[in-house]
Amino acid sequence: MTIFIIQVLNSLFYAASLFLIAAGLSLIYGVMRIVNLAHGTFYALGAYVSAWAVGTAFGHAGGGGWHLMGQLLLLPIGAIAIAAVGAVIEPTLLRPLYRRPEEYLLLITFGLLMVLEDSMKLIFGGTPLSAGTIMDAMGSIPIGRLLYPTYNLVVMAVGLGAAIGLWWFIYRTRFGVILRATSQDRRMAAALGLNVSRVYIQAFAIGCFMAGLGGAVVVPAQAAVLGMGVDALILAFVVVVVGGLGSLEGAFIGALIVSFVRTAGIQFFPEIELAVLYLIAAAVLLVRPTGLFGRA
């Protein structure tokens, strides 16, 4: 029973981080119809920036509650930095291609993935960066005869809070109404006097913020390494395929499904763990080509 509880908690921890990545990817597609192949790299860059910020500011500081609080407050730096990067990329690289076929946007985001990967290697080097001191300082809680990291519970709370906050922001605020109107009919929104260009910048920045936040909250538990963005992107695509691309609810349910299946796969049949995820995605597409919550 103890092992079962820990496996459930591991699944929820993984689902929280996976939802942050998939929600940003789904939001960008839902509003702008862009399949952002660089989204996983934004996640990795957020992890690198947060780990660098925590290590630079508190690498040689003493312990204590204020020390831990300062590290936790620095973690979102990565997400804020990635949002700023997204606010620059959208008008400079993506906007000139909106009237072109979607293959152009796929190519430019793939090229951006390659550029950012090499930029991270140039800036941070090939050595992994970590903010593991946060996880060590928070300790563990006993579950039966075993111990479970307290920080993982914080990540679950962040994921749940982000889901509730994003839902409220999109469906209960004036900007959310503007965002949904722009996603449904861009020309009509512009004809009604909405600044569509500004909405696109904000939507892309929010999507990038979610990816950066996913990297920021993961880096105390998992070091930032080169190539982690590609792995995250693949799983995020499985999530949005299962849940439905462009659907916030789909990203949430898809993240839960993928994380629980992945945890069970690692526990019981690690050799075919990824294959099972792709089989589930294929089965969902056969029944519902738009995903569980997607719309045609």
Q: Tens digits of per-residue pLDDT, 181-218? A: 898 888 898 898 889 999 999 999 999 999 999 999 99
Summary mean pLDDT of the chain = 89
**pLDDT over 90 for what percent of the chain?**
53
Q: Is the torsion defined by CA of 14, 16, 21, 25 positive or negative? A: positive
Q: Residue 164 contacts by C-beta under 8 Å, 6 or more apart in sequence? A: none
Is 80 exceeded by the pLDDT of residue 58? no
Q: Which helix (H) or strand (E) holds 143?
A: strand 140-143
Asked if 137 contacts 68 with a C-beta cutoff of 8 angstroms, the reply is: yes
Asked whether the whole model's pTM tops 0.85, one would answer: yes
Q: Which helix (H) or strand (E) holds 160?
A: helix 150-171
Q: Taking Cα atoms as reference points, which of 162, 205, 146 lies closest to residue 5?
A: 146
Question: 3-class SS at 149?
Answer: strand
Is 70 exceeded by the pLDDT of residue 60? no
Q: Taking Cα atoms as reference points, which of 199, 220, 167, 254 lies closest to residue 46?
A: 220
DSSP bridge pairs for 142: 147
The model's pLDDT over 69-92, given as tens digits with 9 standing for 90+, comes to 888 899 999 999 999 999 999 999
Asked if 280 contacts 260 with a C-beta cutoff of 8 angstroms, the reply is: no
- Other CB atoms within 10 A of residue 155 CB: 22
pLDDT of residue 65: 63
pLDDT of residue 94: 94
For the record, the structure tokens of 101 come out as: 């076929």
For the record, the structure tokens of 225 come out as: 């390494």
**pLDDT over 70 for what percent of the chain?**
97
